[in-house]
Amino acid sequence: MIPSSPAKEDPLSRNPNAIWAEIFVDELAYNGLTAVCLSPGSRSTPLALAFYDHPAIQIYLHLDERSAAFFALGMALAQDKPVALLCTSGTATANFHPAIIEALMSEVPLLVLTADRPPELRHSGANQTVDQVKMFGDHVLWSLDVALPQTGAPPILLRSLRTLAARVLARANGMKKGPVHINFPFRKPLQSTDPQSWPHAFAEEKGERPFTQIMRGALQPTQAQIDWAGEVLQNHPRGLIICGPRCPGGDFVQALSQLSAECGYPILADPLSGLRFGPHVASTAVLGGYETFLQGNQAFPPPDVILRFGAVPTSKWLNKYLSRSDPVYHIHIRESGSWADQDHRTRQFLQVDPIALCHDLAGSVTRAIDHHWQQQWLETESICWSTVEASLQTIGFDGSVVADVLDLLPTDATLFVGNSLAIRHVDQFGQPRTEPFRLFANRGASGIDGNISTGLGIAAVSGGPNVLLVGDITFFHDSNGLMAINQQAISDVTIVLLNNNGGGIFRRLPIAQFKTPFEELFLTPHNLDFAPLAAMYGIEYTLIVDRTAFKAALNESIATPNPTIIEVRTDSREDESIRRQIIAQVETALRNMHTNTF
């Protein structure tokens, strides 16, 4: 407990902004908040000082609000618990919006605190005043405008601040996680003029435990649901398990692996699912080559049952296969209840705890496994990867660099992958392996903004080496985010920059065949030299000219805790041609081996 001020006057007579801020921040801390990312500003002074004074909450400062928001997103993503954001009034608040959208769509818990002008200044033409009430619309789970601080506030109003802190944290970290927006109007003076009364403005009212605690349990499946699902698996031996991004943590991998082994359903695992990499791969039918082998002309019949977990898969061709399949049962299990089926093929949606359901279904399948069905998928996967590996051994292109990154990551590493080509290459060339590592990406809205900051936010709270794999346009979009490396003393981080001088991902579009408008409007070569940018932020920089040098540079950077940018320059036209050649080689190998006759 913070000792009371020696002053004898009624604490309610002090600066009401200080009282509001300290009560709210105090209850946030009591309910488990440990971090806030803030940007400097005047109107947010009361909350900034309250956070600064609280010993249980660590401040992460960033000068750029957009980068600060994505940095907080990365921290919350890595820890799976709420992180607070704070900024001043005006357009500073609008810079939070892209990260808020990503947090909503990826179900990442964020507590968005915006300072605002008092009601009499709204819609008055006052400087730095915009309409901030519900400004983020449907992109937040809850939005509210806090009562204006006042002197001599009644006890119920002060209690409401305490219960509000517990409620907003619980909402952000609820069954469906996401961002919550709290708008705080403050009238000047923003802080007490008496240094003795700040920052412990309301110490007399502090307790030793939360004023309000909000607790929730899990959605346990009913016996009827368990019996029904068990009967489906029992009577349909030809099935697939699809694991998209953001699958549950905890015991989910173990529980699902056991279920897969019992029913004989192969697991098609997105790289962001948590299922593609780890010790369970040694004894579980985990597939990761589908983005390559499903592109060919081979006939892959639909399964009788599809069990889906997590969000929409990254793979374009897996989604196409799922869309044209018409199984007897297409079941999606997701506790948050969030719909994730862009083609609307889901026939049964179970909003239950996936871990509990998998555990409850264990032992429910007593029939013999359809080994022919399972083996055809496993042989297809094996031929795919043997062909891809043979090609990658002799060919150097951006896809082989991505494969090298995955091969060289130590088991305690954390990898953040940028959007556009980077995540697609990880999906296509990330072979399942038994060595575990944590992998993240912003696949909610799949934007390229804020990727550097998200990756650094993850690095700030993750042990072991951290690697960020991003393209050149993604890197350019969030170069401001690099400031966090020194400001937050993030040392153990390596940024692998795949520079193909423009929007190479667009070479996969039909417009690419029209050279003039394509290069001017889509490819947009920038011809930027990123070395001076690294020097400006004091980050070590290496330009790579061949694959052998890249492996050596990455190994050295991972082993040495110095922030480093490793730039690999590639040719997007040549790289896309090589990628298509590899797909054609896999198709030929499958056709020649005659193993894909289901």
If asked whether residues 421 and 545 sit together in one domain, one would say yes
CA-to-CA distance for 509 and 407, rounded, in angstroms?
30
For residue 277, which amino acid is it?
Answer: F
Query: Reduced to 3 states, what is the DSSP secondary structure of residue 510?
Result: helix
If asked whether residues 166 and 227 sit together in one domain, one would say no
Q: Is the dihedral of CA 438, 443, 444, 445 positive or negative?
A: positive
Domain end residue (candidates: 331, 358, 382): 382
Q: Does 1 reside within a domain?
A: no
Q: Does 392 reside within a domain?
A: no
| pLDDT tens figures, 132-167 | 999 999 999 999 999 999 998 999 999 999 999 999
Structural domain total, the chain: 3
Question: Where in the sequence is the domain holding 169, given as residue range(s)?
Answer: 11-205
Query: Reduced to 3 states, what is the DSSP secondary structure of residue 497?
Result: strand
Q: Does 390 reside within a domain?
A: no
Q: Does 94 reside within a domain?
A: yes
Closest CA to 459 of 60, 34, 40: 60
User: CATH number, domain at 363?
Assistant: 3.40.50.1220
Closest CA to 431 of 232, 258, 293, 245: 293
Domain end residue (candidates: 145, 171, 205): 205
Domain end residue (candidates: 175, 205, 235): 205
Closest CA to 25 of 170, 202, 189: 202
Q: Does 391 reside within a domain?
A: no
Supply the pTM of this predicted model.
0.93
Closest CA to 181 of 143, 149, 227: 143
Q: Does the pLDDT at position 110 exceed 90? A: yes
Q: Does the pLDDT at position 8 exceed 60? A: no
If asked whether residues 356 and 261 sit together in one domain, one would say yes
Residues of the chain with pLDDT > 70: what percent? 94
Please state, rounded to an integer, the average pLDDT across all residues of the chain.
Answer: 92
Answer for the pair 79, 110: CB distance below 8 angstroms, yes or no: no
| Residue corresponding to tokens 């006759």 | 597
| pLDDT tens figures, 551-592 | 999 999 999 989 999 999 999 899 999 999 999 999 999 988
Closest CA to 364 of 456, 214, 259, 281: 259
- Looking at residue 507, what is its pLDDT? 85
| Phi, psi (deg, nearest 5) at residue 44 | -85, 10
Q: Does 47 reside within a domain?
A: yes
If asked whether residues 274 and 369 sit together in one domain, one would say yes
Answer for the pair 141, 172: CB distance below 8 angstroms, yes or no: yes
| Phi, psi (deg, nearest 5) at residue 144 | -150, 155
Q: Does 278 reside within a domain?
A: yes
| Residue corresponding to tokens 């790579």 | 544
Q: What share of the chain is helix, strand, coil (3-state, %, to 5)?
A: 45, 15, 40
CA-to-CA distance for 279 and 254, rounded, in angstroms?
10
Q: Prior bond to 189 cis, omega within 30? A: yes
User: CATH number, domain at 518?
Assistant: 3.40.50.970
If asked whether residues 59 and 91 sit together in one domain, one would say yes
If asked whether residues 405 and 376 sit together in one domain, one would say no
If asked whether residues 198 and 115 sit together in one domain, one would say yes
207-211, 251-255, 510-514: which is most confident: 251-255
If asked whether residues 33 and 166 sit together in one domain, one would say yes
Q: Does the pLDDT at position 192 exceed 90? A: no
For residue 398, which amino acid is it?
Answer: D
Q: Does 575 reside within a domain?
A: no
Answer for the pair 103, 442: CB distance below 8 angstroms, yes or no: no
| pLDDT tens figures, 284-309 | 999 999 999 999 777 788 999 999 99
- Looking at residue 125, what is its pLDDT? 86
- Looking at residue 13, what is its pLDDT? 55
Calculate mean pLDDT across residues 496-512.
88
- Looking at residue 503, what is its pLDDT? 85
If asked whether residues 73 and 199 sit together in one domain, one would say yes
- Looking at residue 595, what is its pLDDT? 56
If asked whether residues 343 and 403 sit together in one domain, one would say no
| pLDDT tens figures, 359-417 | 999 888 888 899 999 999 999 999 999 999 999 988 889 999 999 999 999 998 999 99
- Looking at residue 248, what is its pLDDT? 95
If asked whether residues 356 and 491 sit together in one domain, one would say no
Closest CA to 574 of 333, 398, 346: 398
Torsion (CA) 61, 63, 67, 68 in degrees, nearest 10: 30
| Phi, psi (deg, nearest 5) at residue 94 | -65, -25
Q: Does the pLDDT at position 7 exceed 70? A: no
If asked whether residues 198 and 288 sit together in one domain, one would say no
CA-to-CA distance for 40 and 62, rounded, in angstroms?
8
